[in-house]
Amino acid sequence: MSEKEHINVVWLKRDLRLQDNEAISNALKSKKRVLILYVFEHLLLNDAHYSARHFNFIKESIRDLNEQLTEYNSKVLTATSDITSAFNQLQEFYKIDAVYSHVETGLLITYNRDKEFKRYCRNNFIDWEESKNNGVERGLVNRDNWFENWEAYMYQELETFQPIENQLLSTTEIQTLEKVFAVTNLDTESKTKFQKGGSTIGWRYANSFFESRHEDYMFNISKPEASRSSCSRISPYIAWGNLSIRQVFQKGKAVKITTKDKRHISAFISRLRWQAHFIQKFEMEHTMENASVNKGYHKLKKSISKDYQKAWKTGQTGFPLVDASMRCLIETGYVNFRMRAMLASFFTHILWQPWQSATTHLSQQFLDFEPGIHFPQLQMQAGETGINNLRIYNPTTNSLKHDPDAVFIKKWVPELAHLDTAFIHEPYLMTEMEQTFYNFKLGENYPNPIVDIKKNRKRASEILWNMKDDPEVRRESSRILKRHTISQRNRMLRDE
């Protein structure tokens, strides 16, 4: 029997790109033949945080990779499997010397999966080399020099995709492997309101933003409708690794030199740092996936209302901006940051529900679901960190300020569109006579408010402000600041 060929494997995770992909670059530098692998793992396919929109985005991203790999006569081996089962099948054909991937700041299940895979590699004499992902570092105990290290990483030269001739396993060889794997069907529905995956489309969004759309970035960033075109809209491409933060950072820096709108580009670049800051926080405090990072808030008890939660999840709360934001999110996978914060605040403060009950619904809807952003942000908006300003968003105030003509609300809550603008913002103020005039019935055409917002806002504010003085909350706040604060000059990142 002939000896098996020795190869290296690139295990793609949330780094679905060829350019500036250190895992791929390091594998190619080995000069050995390389297989690029993506596994639709059962543990993620069955996890409540994920939904079909995420896997469709991944499939579109892999199709884009395969288009790019055509000129190299190669493709991504894509299978539905457990990761160790996939490697066991590969080893029936090849001797795997090394695996290359990025460190993943993911859910607890992926962290535990990685620990099991490390044992698997050790038992099978496979080297596993993990690269730093977007400047986030594993194993930190504090943030000393973190910002300086992150920025130095952002200025490093971009990795280029340069395989030598025939270094990648050929399409024919991969097709042979596909005969024994549960190959994933990469087809997706073409007509949806979701952004499509892939580096090619990701760069179209990025380039159009840097070329012109950034000109109104700061003016429209809080507006639910205008932000849809004025913001970069590259968050899903960063979350799934179609674009690296370093690529976008360097592009932004180059654009800033030539644009007249330097303030807008600077604000955008600062949010790249903000993004990395929160993922680093989650990397260092993974327990916040299930419990408040500030242990003092573990004693905070809230009664669960299935009726409240259902109304919130379906956009039927009786508060137009809340409902419009949720319906938009469900249908398109995107709302801007302020609307996300308002949805979380409304759920945790006004409805007085535990933030843990919102995690999977929101993660399933966010096309750009990123665990390292998701959990720290939910806790911050819920007011359970002890170190951030308490923000309880008033949906009516926000709709009057950021959607004054009710353009966004009319679009997503069409049952209100024929009312005068003032009534669209606050339909619950209509008298019986006004309802009759508009052929509109509160409670039938649109729900009455499910809670007394003024009363509930006051309750949440009093309880949470009083808890800031709790000795355990204060001790935990001090610990969190010591562990996660970068430096005085960069502390604004904490309160963005």
288-495: CATH homologous superfamily? Answer: DNA Cyclobutane Dipyrimidine Photolyase, subunit A, domain 3 (1.10.579.10)
**Closest of 5, 53, 55, 13 to residue 36, by C-alpha:** 13
pLDDT computed for residue 331 by the predictor: 98
Q: pLDDT of 199-234, one tens digit each?
A: 999 999 999 999 999 999 999 999 999 999 999 999
Distance CA 202, CA 233 (A): 9
Q: How much is the pLDDT for 2?
A: 67
Where does the chain hold its CATH 3.40.50.620 domain(s)?
5-178
CA distance 157 to 249: 12
Class of domain 5-178: alpha beta
Q: pLDDT per residue over 408-459, tens digit each?
A: 999 999 999 999 999 999 999 999 999 999 999 999 999 999 999 999 999 9
Query: Where exactly does CATH 1.10.579.10 map onto the chain?
Result: 288-495
Q: Is the pTM of this model over 0.85?
A: yes
Predicted pLDDT of residue 389: 87
pLDDT digits (tens, 9 = 90+) for 307-345: 999 999 999 999 999 999 999 999 999 999 999 999 999
Q: What is the pLDDT of residue 317?
A: 98
**Angle at 32 (CA atoms; ends 26, 36), nearest 5 degrees:** 65
Neighbours of 281 (CB within 10 A): 25
Strands 127-131 and 94-102: parallel
Q: Average pLDDT, whole number, for the chain?
A: 95
- Which residues touch 234 (CB under 8 Å, ≥6 apart)? 202, 205, 206, 209, 243, 248
Amino acid identity, position 293:
V
pLDDT at 487 (0 to 100): 57
What residue ranges of the chain have pLDDT lower than 70?
Answer: 1-2, 486-496
Q: State residue 300 phi and psi, 5-degree precision.
A: -75, 120
Residues listed for the chain: 496
SS3 152: helix
